[in-house]
Structure 1
Amino acid sequence: MRLFLSDENLVVQGRAFKGFPLLVHKDGTAVEPAQSFLWDVLTANGRAQSPLTWAKYGRDIYDYFAFLDANGLDWQATPDRGMPSIVDWYRDWSKGEIGLDSVTINARLRLVARFYRWAQQMDLIRQLPFRYQVVRVSRTPGFLAHLDASSNMVALPRAMLSQKSALIKFLTMDQVLVCLGVLSNITHRLMFELMVRCGLRQIECRTFPVRYLCDPTKRRDLVPGQMIRLPLSERDMKLKYDKPRAIDVPYDLMEDLWWYAARHRKSRQQAAGAGATSSCLFLTQNGTPYGDTALTDIFADLERRVGFRVRPHMLRHTYGTYTLWKLRKVGFEGEPLLYVRDRMGHSSVSTTSIYLHLINQLGAQLVLQWEDEIDALFGRET
């Protein structure tokens, strides 16, 4: 059993579905009904989701069916009364054998539960292999929270694990300093800075286009210390949900990126050979764009060298927390939460508010020290 992501040759009704997950048996046949479920759920209502969502759903449903296949289990099997279901076995295997955390396991279980509800609607099974329980959940109030008549009561599969509400993971200033100290590769260092100072996702960093750069020293409308607004478009780079937004790039970082493009990137592109072109700012030593797992591998190596956890998304959390604190402290003319939401490309301000909760829990003294040091580190004023 294998999982593949399709190329541009997968075309349905004139539309190419590059990156769509394909679950295939050893004999080349599709893994059904998992494949049909992925197609239905990811193209529901005629609206295809982001390729990032495709890959995530594909990996998660593949993981479940690969578990069943390896253990000779039938996905349609219903448990005897009082006995654990195959979903329970999958949960316990994920926790005990693989060592996944509860958040990851529960995310996969939600998709598995969705698969079984779909199978029931398609008359593929008579009953679900698990039961639901109604629980109260803690939610961040949104703009329409007063319309929530359910009192935050939701139905969840009983197979779900309990999970504590944990603080989001971000880098302290000491950790940022250590990382920068060992990032001798100029390309990796600038990728690190672009994510931690502008809140880019790793896929956005990998596909960030060179055409967005300018030499700020040659622009009369720009002065040192200024933030440079850059509109991001799905026509130029990969954005989650293809949702355009704008980021603010510090003057000194733009200057560093400009000189990187003029010197290091040029030599890397030449390594790809005559006629090879790429719109991406960051290129490998072979002159090619970084692949889907490249930054994960780079950060895994960085993690081993520094001795603490460093993941690409932690840089985005670092940006969100720091920026929100800074704006609140200086009396930003506007709503800080909305500013950070728009810079990070969140669909809802409720997502952005996790950084507000983090700030409140950290305590002012710790965040103030972190803020002063990050300003000194990057040598800028805002």
Structure 2
Amino acid sequence: MHLFFTDDTFKQQGVSRAGVPFLCDAQMRLVDAPNRYLRYIAIISGKTSSPRTWETYGNHLYEFFSFLESNQLRWDLIGIAEMAAWRDTMRKRECSRSTVNQRLRCAQAFFQWASDSDLIEKSPIATVSVRVTKRGGLLSHIDTSANRTTANVLTLPQYEAPPQFIHIRDAFAFISALTSHTLKHMAYLALLSGMRRDEIISLSFKVLPNPCGLDSRKLVPMRLDANLTPTKGSKTRTVMVPYDLAAALWNYFCMEWPLRQRMFEQRHRRETTRLFFVH
């Protein structure tokens, strides 16, 4: 089994669709059902608009269909025993419980879609009713669910591990050890503004705030426009940047960025709006 992703030459109804995952078997033949589902996830469903989410679905189905292929099983003829066997092989490979459960839920969603699309009669994955703890809310007194929901019988029990935090002293020591000014700026953004990795890597200079004339004692707002800079869920949001960091970034943009931009254009024969150039 092989996992690939479309580029911008792939079009649906005349619209370019890059980043859509698709599977090919060992003979490089397209695998119809999972590919139809992945196109549904990436193109039809409004709940999964992020290419990172599409990639996750693709990886989970790649894992599942690789198991089927290696054991010469047909996806539309398997039952709960084969699904349990897949789960147990992942545990033998020391996959974490959360990873196993995520893959099982992805397979469950695929089978539910296949059932709704009349590709199979019913899903091979059984569910049970379980009691859950819910926080009381404004309308909790009219909740008729009795604190019960359905759960996949194959999923493993999970225990939430306490979060691990890096001490601020260690974080600054790490940044101080970096020799690249670019990497230092990126690290400070991650530490002091809470920006995500993809947001920092693809940050557009067009959203960079000019701190000139602003109060140096206050944080500087930076609006991450989703049309210019990739954000989670493609939602525009605002992050607050310390004044000193905003000033350092603006100085970098005015002094260093033009030279780096020319080097980028000479190497790639195109322009870019990215603030950072990392090779």
Q: Find the aligned partners of 2:88 and 2:271 in 1 and give their Cα distance.
A: 48
Deviation at 1:48, TM superposition (A): 6.5
C-alpha displacement at 1:6, in angstroms? 1.0
**Do residues 246 (structure 1) and 241 (structure 2) align?**
no
Quote the Cα distance in structure 1 between the aligned partners of 2:51 and 2:71. 30
Query: Residue deviations 1:140-193, cap 9 Å, x none?
Result: 666665554323321111110000123334323243134223322222222121
Q: Quick one: which of 75, 86, 92 aligns to 2:88? A: 92
- Distance in 2 between the 1:11 and 1:40 partners? 14
SS in 1 for 2:32: coil
Does the C-alpha gap of structure 1 residues 176 and 65 become closer, same or farther in structure 2, counting only changes over 3 Å?
A: same
Letter in 2 for 1:238: P
Unmatched runs of 5 consecutive residues or more in structure 2: none
Within the candidate set 107, 116, 123, 1:121 is matched to: 116
Pair 1:283-2:267 in alignment: no
User: Structure 1 residues 254 and 2, CA, compared in 2 at 3 Å: closer, same or farther?
Assistant: same
Higher relative contact order (CA 8 A, sep 6+): 1
Whichever residue aligns with residue 284 of structure 1, its letter is V
4+ runs deviating over 6 angstroms? none
Is contact 2:50–2:233 with CA below 8 Å preserved after alignment?
Answer: yes
2:274 maps to amino acid: C
Q: Residues 209 and 220 of structure 2 are in contact (CA less than 8 Å); yes or no, is this contact kept in structure 1?
A: no
Residues 148 and 30 of structure 1: is their aligned pair in 2 closer, same or farther, counting only changes over 3 Å? Answer: farther
Q: Could you give the per-residue CA deviations for residues 111-130 of structure 1, whole angstroms, max 9, x where no partner exists? A: 11111122223333334323
| Structure 1 residues not aligned, in runs of 5+ | 286-382
Q: When you count helix as a share of all residues, which structure comes out higher?
A: 1
Contact 2:20/2:38 (CA < 8 Å) preserved in 1? Answer: no
Match of 1:135 among 105, 130, 136: 130
Match of 1:176 among 162, 171, 180: 171
Task: Say whether 1:24 aligns with 2:19.
Answer: no
CA 1:127–1:47 in 2, change beyond 3 Å: closer, same or farther?
closer
- Are 1:269 and 1:276, in contact at CA under 8 Å, matched by a contact in 2? no
Q: State how far apart, in whole Å, the 2-side matches of 1:50 and 1:152 are.
A: 31
Taking only aligned residues, the RMSD between alpha carbons, in angstroms, comes to 2.5
Sort the Cα spacing of 1:85 and 1:42 in 2 relative to 1 into closer, same or farther, 3 A: farther
Identical-pair percentage:
28
Matched, 1:196 2:191: yes
In the comparison of the two structures, how many residue pairs are matched?
277
Displacement of 1:259 in angstroms is 2.3
Give the drift of 1:224: 1.4
Where does 1:140-151 land on structure 2 (aligned, <5 Å)? 148-151=143-146
Counterpart in the other structure of 1:266: 258
Task: Say if 1:215 and 1:254, in contact at 8 Å, map to a contact too.
Answer: yes
